[in-house]
Amino acid sequence: MAGKLAERLKELAAFLAHQHAVDSMEESVGHLQTEIADAMVRSRSKAQQCTILLFQSADPPCLLDFLTTSADYATESRKREIAHARASVLGLIASFLKTYSGNRALSKKHLIAIFKACQLTARVDPFNRVKVQALSVHRKAGAKRARAGLQLYGME
């Protein structure tokens, strides 16, 4: 399971290096979403492995690293396709937050990292579609982060 998830994350990184590394970005993100769903319902340890791979991993690069790195790869010839890939990854993160925000494997540290990455993406991305998607995820992560803080202090 973790191996398949890692492979999918490597596909995203390979896409940045070579546009034909994956047949379809939508298909790759769809496969990634399937692997996430499988991991998050299997067990608590699998869910923890999944969130670490998605939001903290250096090898393979996590989704947040993909957002950061892909901003540098936006050459003239690939700007639109990279923007589409970034929007797809942001959509995946939004879906993850919507579905698994109550899961204990998603830590406050992960929420803060998502919040910051989306804030930066919204600030620097030249495409409005990506900015809107990043701001949407940013708001969701901020709301979840605030709620997690309240729960930590017994205020909710």
For the chain, what are the domain ranges? Answer: 2-152
Residue tagged 């994956």 (tokens):
22
Query: Can you tell me the distance from the alpha carbon of 82 to that of 70, in angstroms, rounded to the nearest whole number?
Result: 7
- Measured in Å, how far apart are the chain's first and last C-alpha atoms? 35
For residue 152, the model assigns a pLDDT of 43
pLDDT tens-digit map of 78-128: 888 888 899 999 999 999 999 998 899 999 899 999 999 999 999 988 888
